[in-house]
Amino acid sequence: MTDYPKKVVVTGMGLVSPIGLNLEDYWKNLLNGKSGVAPITKFDTTDFKTKFAAELKEFDPEDYMDRREARYMDPFCHYAVAAADMAIKDAGLEEEKLDLNRIGVIVGSGIGGMCIFENQVEVMLKHGPRRITPFFVPIMIIDIASGHISMRHNFKGPNFATVSACATASHAIGTAVDNIRLGRADVMVCGGSEAPITKMGIGGFNAMRAISTRNDEPEKASRPFDKDRDGFIVGEGSGILILEAEEHAKTRGARIYAEITGVGFTADAYHITAPAPGGEGAVRAMKMALDETGISPEEVDYINAHGTSTLLNDKNETEAIKTLFGEHAYKLKVSSTKSMIGHLLGAAGGVESIATIMSVVENKIHPTINYDTPDPDCDLDYVPNKAIKHTTNHALCNTFGFGGHNASLLFSKYQ
């Protein structure tokens, strides 16, 4: 039986986001407080209550694959493949020098191929079922992103997808940690991808009154923890991490960004969309991540919050932090990446883990922008509007999904 590795480390990161199509631009724009929210360009929004979102700017799949490959992928898969390629390159993984049977891929999505689904429904209604493309199902299914990444790089280790709404990517990352610790793989490519800015995506979230309708000021619409928040903003993109057993990374001379020291998964068992009162499930997820490694609440320096800009989530997450951390909650720095990139749903845990890791690496914390009017129910230090320097040895990344799925990941400076 393979020995249980003591440490799992992060050796590569890649992403495509509404404020940067690579790690360098993304982190720079986060620190500068740049908003990626703007009017929707993908379809005519005349009849929609919400007319804006956080789209990818200037993304071209043919920058990462040939035209024929791109034709047989949904945009959520384009994003995943692009982010994975960048993460693999960033980690310096030389496939000819590695045991490819020991490299796995877990990349999830909350919704998957919504673009191809909408397109092919229109084809069927207009031309009949015989005109549906035979590639419809393999383009649409959520696990196909992991499949394409593994085929592209010949990775033959554990390969599957996670699906847990907004907690998807964090569940993929935490499950990848388990696969390394259990000896099933030496290296895992993990994260999430989402392309939900479609007519049905925006219309569906409008119908449930979950997203902002601040059409006159879209760049100011995502305002986590602010008293005047009125819903989240739909975003798109992908965030991918390369995780390795410490000894494997050291043996090949890899650069190590940080260690992933704790993973916490819980369920609210409460409601299909609303969080449990007081963030009870979130409390247990954060505590589980800390307990796994023996780090005390007082040692945590920063929390990259789920921070959706919805009334219930922000209030309940604040309560959860205060419940677990007590007086230390007021010494913590808390910020929301979603204030700038919107909510990437199943990709959120990937892109936000990357922001958290960069805080650990550089001792800088990006702001929560659009924080103008304090809410008495949200009374922590949300790093309002301007990035700060702050020693960050241990940082939590929270993601909570519809259905009561909670995931909390703890990243620490590598010793």
Task: Give 1's pLDDT tier (boundaries 50, 70, 90).
Answer: very low
Q: Of 251, 282, 307, which residue constitutes the final position of a domain?
A: 251
Residue 257 in domain: no
In percent, the amount of the chain with pLDDT more than 70 equals 99
Q: Are residues 70 and 184 in the same domain?
A: yes
Strand segments, DSSP code E, in 109-199 are: 159-160, 187-194
Q: Give the burial class of 72: count Cβ atoms within 10 A of its Cβ; 0-12 exposed, 13-18 middle, 19 or more buried.
A: middle
**Of residues 148, 171, 248, 306, which has the active-site annotation?**
306
Which is catalytic among the residues 77, 115, 166, 190? Answer: 166
Per the CB < 8 A criterion, the answer to whether 410 and 285 are in contact is no
Does the annotation count 343 as an active-site position? yes
Token readout for 36 is 């990626």
Please, which pLDDT band fits residue 300 given cuts at 50, 70 and 90?
very high
Residues 226 and 373 in one domain: no
Identify whether 171 is a catalytic site residue.
Answer: no
Question: How many domains, the chain?
Answer: 2
Whether 228 and 365 map to the same domain: the answer is no
| pLDDT tens by residue, 195-219 | 999 999 999 999 999 999 999 999 9
> In sequence order, what are the residues at sequence separation of 6 or more whose Cβ sits closer than 8 angstroms to the Cβ of residue 117?
140, 200
Query: Can you point out the beta strands (E) in 101-231?
Result: 103-108, 159-160, 187-194
- If pLDDT is split at 50, 70 and 90, which confidence band does 273 have? confident
State the DSSP H helix or E strand holding residue 242, giving kind and residue range, or none if neither.
Answer: strand 237-245
Asked if residue 305 and residue 274 are part of one domain, the reply reads: yes
Rounded to an integer, the average pLDDT of 357-377 is: 98
Task: State which residues form the domain around 20.
Answer: 8-251
- Same domain, yes or no, for 75 and 186? yes
pLDDT-derived band at 275 (thresholds 50, 70, 90) equals confident
pLDDT at 377 over 60: yes
In the predicted structure, residue 52 carries a pLDDT above the cut 70: yes
Q: What is the DSSP string of 260-276?
A: EEEEEEEE--S-SSSPP
Bridge-based pairing of strands 302-304 and 333-335 is parallel
d(CA 31, CA 26): 9
Percent of the chain clearing pLDDT 90 (strictly above): 96
Examine the residue annotation and report whether 397 is marked as an active-site residue of this protein. Answer: no
Judge if 209 and 309 occupy the same domain. Answer: no
Assign residue 220 the CATH number of its domain.
3.40.47.10
Task: Work out the end-to-end distance of the chain between its first and last CA atoms, rounded to an integer number of angstroms.
Answer: 27
Task: Report how far residue 54's alpha carbon sits from residue 328's, in angstroms, rounded to the nearest whole number.
Answer: 34
Q: Are residues 127 and 216 in the same domain?
A: yes
Question: Rounded mean pLDDT of the chain?
Answer: 97
What's residue 4's pLDDT? 55
pTM (predicted TM-score): 0.97
Both 98 and 221 in one domain: the answer is: yes
Q: What is the mean pLDDT of residues 144-162?
A: 98
Rounded Cα distance, 407 and 91, in Å: 25
- Give the strand order in the sheet containing 258-267: 159-160, 103-108, 187-194, 237-245, 8-16, 258-267, 405-412, 394-401, 302-304, 333-335
The single residue of 153, 343, 394, 405 carrying the catalytic annotation is 343
